[in-house]
Amino acid sequence: MGDVADKLAYFQAITGIEDPDLCTEILSAHGWDLEQAISSITSTDNHRPAAAAASTPASEFGSATLNANQETEVTGLVLAPNGNNQPGVVWKLITLPFSIISGSLGLISGAVGLGIWAASGVLSYSLSMIGLNNSGRAGTTPLVSVSQSTSEAMDFVSSFERDFGRTRPNFVAESFMDALQRSRHEYKLLFVYLHSPEHPDTPAFCGRTLCSEALAAFVNENFVAWGGSVKASEGFKMSNSLKASRFPFCAVVMAATNQRIALLQQVEGPKSPEEMLTILQRVLEESAPILVSSRLEAEERRNNLRLREEQDAAYLAALEADQARERQRKEEQEQLEREAAEAERKRKEEEEAQERAAREAAEKEAAIAKMREEKAASLGAEPEKGPDVTQVLVRFPNGERKERRFHSTSTIQTLYDYVDSLACSEVESYSLVSNFPRTVYGPDKLSLSLKEAKLHPQASLFVESNS
């Protein structure tokens, strides 16, 4: 956030201070350091009396009212009064960092301003300013990285499935904000379940209600589901941000503008599958116009953008047609010349490569032939049969067999010279090996005589490639 305007907008979104001049003065006083500026506001809030933050507990489905001025002084929350002159839902979602709304939909019980909960270093810091400002927790909450939030979500999904089976809502194994963005992209509501493992009603609620086949199928088809344990960092922070007062706790939220979320419904305490289905069906029905409108607006924006791009492309194509034709003619001519030159160059290179390859092959063949002649000459004449003569049979990888007699005092190196002198194998690196028992006559045995190597009076060896 190096841009001044972005820092100012972010500071306003987090603190709820609408006066841009005041925000500018605060940021300037802290050298435009967002963390220090926000800290100066929240650290003041943390030391105020706890009584000033008291609010009326939420009802079973999350409805609540509170004096707007009192709550603004404590936490930056603005709650809708009970009068008939309530601001519109859209206005409150755009302008307030945290609003509890009874809007025209009849189902929006709260809007939770979570600020810009980005995947940067301010992730959990933003949450601490709006959800963790209570008398029992002083100072700021340690930052939680996206990877830790994702890890916590994966642990929750794994443990929930282990405890309650696979018939369940398909909780996404990702952070809350990632799940919220997923619901926004899929044009669905986000079903939130905060798991209190030590609450006595939790096992029955999870096993009989959340994991009932009808409720699980309904949630999986119509919602993106996210769950978190209140014993984990992100689940605890969400329970504070959503002000969960009873467990089991479920909520339905949706993405709103400016990185805020709208709290559409919350359900606290144990409920039967039928009760949960009734509540979720009502929320889904009443919020359907918003989701459909969002989807249609997004499609319209995409269509309009695509249409503008097509029109711009057609205009540019028509504008450049004449120049393009002339440019194309020149390019074609130049291309023909380049291709002709390239073809000639490749032809010469191929001829040179072929000549070089033929020359190298001939040189290699001559070297091999010379080596074989030298090796054959070094062997001398084949001795006649006798008590000091060893009969050696050599098998090659291609199945060919060669047999020769050697003096028992000849070395293993002599056998290698014999194999090298033959044109029976194209293997360049090999070892002579005998079976029963298997023995490899490698470099360490080249100086041994046939008798010392226990190959006398006769031996059978085979050529084994080292590659």
pLDDT at 104: 30
Q: What is the largest CA-CA distance in the chain?
A: 124
Which residues lie below 8 Å from residue 13, measured CB to CB, with a gap of 6+?
97, 113, 115, 116, 258, 259
Q: Which residues of 271-304 are buried (b: 16+ CB within 10 A; e: fewer)?
A: bebeebbebbeebbeebeebbeeeeeeeeeeeee
Q: What is the DSSP string of 95-118?
A: H-SSEE---TTS---EEE------
Cα separation, 412 vs 461, whole angstroms: 11
- Provide the token pair at 11: 């500071």
Q: How do the domains of the chain map onto residue ranges?
A: 48-319, 325-379, 389-465
pLDDT at 73: 29
- Provide the token pair at 297: 């607006």
Per-residue model confidence as pLDDT tens for the chain (467 residues): 457 887 887 777 676 677 787 888 888 888 888 778 777 765 544 433 333 332 333 333 333 322 323 332 222 323 333 333 333 333 233 233 333 333 333 333 333 343 333 333 334 434 344 443 333 333 434 444 457 889 999 999 999 999 999 999 999 999 999 999 899 889 999 999 999 999 999 999 999 999 999 999 999 999 999 999 999 999 999 988 888 889 999 999 988 766 678 899 999 999 999 999 999 999 999 988 888 888 888 888 888 999 999 999 888 888 888 888 888 899 999 999 999 999 999 999 999 999 999 999 888 888 888 888 888 888 888 999 999 999 999 999 888 898 999 999 999 999 998 988 887 777 778 899 998 888 999 999 999 999 999 899 999 999 998 87
Which CATH number fits the domain 48-319, given the four candidates 3.30.390.30, 3.40.30.10, 3.40.50.12780, 3.40.50.1970?
3.40.30.10
Q: Of 19, 13, 21, whose CA–CA distance to 38 is shortest?
A: 13
Number of Cβ within a 10 Å radius of residue 187: 16
Q: What is the CA angle 122-124-129, rounded to 5?
A: 90
Cα-only R_g, the chain: 41
Identical topology for domains 48-319 and 389-465: no
Which CATH number fits the domain 389-465, given the four candidates 3.10.20.90, 3.60.20.10, 3.30.470.30, 3.50.50.60?
3.10.20.90
pTM here is: 0.42
pLDDT at 424: 74
- Provide the token pair at 168: 């369940």
pLDDT at 405: 93
Are 433 and 464 in contact by the 8 Å Cβ rule? The answer is yes
Which residues lie below 8 Å from residue 466, measured CB to CB, with a gap of 6+?
429, 430, 431
